Amino acid sequence: MSRQVILDTETTGLNPAAGDRIIEVAGVELLGRRPSGRHFQRYVNPLRSSHPDALRVHGLTDEFLSGMPEFRSIVDELLEFVRGAEVIIHNAAFDVTFLDAELERLQLPPFASHCAAITDTLALARQQFPGKFNSLDALCKRFGVDNTRRTLHGALLDAELLAEVYVWLTRGQDSLAIDLGDTGRGGEQAPQDLSGLRLRVQRASEHELREHDAILRALDKAGGAVWKPRLAGAAADE
């Protein structure tokens, strides 16, 4: 089963070459494109103050961060969490540059050498929606992902939101086949006798119908539901 980690960082500013540092790093694990329930999140003492503009974004004060461990104290946990996984980041170049700078201070190899691959959801979004706003907030709105809790940027919350956005962005990449558990020899599903099975028909509730309509609206915003032209063509043939 494929393993992915949705990763995000918060920083003291925009330029690690000028001494800006990571102050928070968080990741959410996906197994088979579904949240596993595992996550990683650590605050980090950057040994310097945040730029006022950055502080307005993340709200993590010097006083709060002064009691947190330095990056050297959390690096082993972080690298163990991402090891062997495809790491998915929004605007990956920004976060990876900061991670590489922190690793270089500790004389450790670059971040990409510790994981299987790095995927940039900003690049994916720009391919699908050229010329449109593709920030995390814009993508949440486009796909109907609830980001009302995002009054300040936080690495763990942003990673959780990005996990939902990523599944929408890549929803056509995987098979819709259902995992039915153990298979027979050669990878084929062992035959089962379902002759006596009687299925109960459960009608959708009003709430479920509204949720279904919301999903269809989100699909329309993302480029349209692919079955609609087919339905229209079938009606024309009748």
Determine which one of 114, 153, 207, 212 is catalytic. Answer: 153
d(CA 218, CA 75): 38
Residue 5, beta-bridge partner list: 29, 87
Q: What CA–CA distances, in Å, run from 72 to 16, 29, 48, 87, 92?
A: 16, 22, 15, 21, 22
Q: Would you give the DSSP letter of residue 190?
A: P
**Whole-number Å distance between alpha carbons of 47 and 26:** 19
Q: Are strands 86-89 and 3-11 parallel, antiparallel or unpaired?
A: parallel
Chain-centre distance for alpha carbon 120:
10
Nearest one of 7, 19, 44 to 105, comparing CA atoms = 19
* Cα atoms found within 13 Å of the Cα of residue 30, Cβ hemisphere only: 20
CA distance 179 to 220: 28
Q: Is 153 a catalytic residue?
A: yes
Task: Point out the residues that are catalytic.
Answer: 153
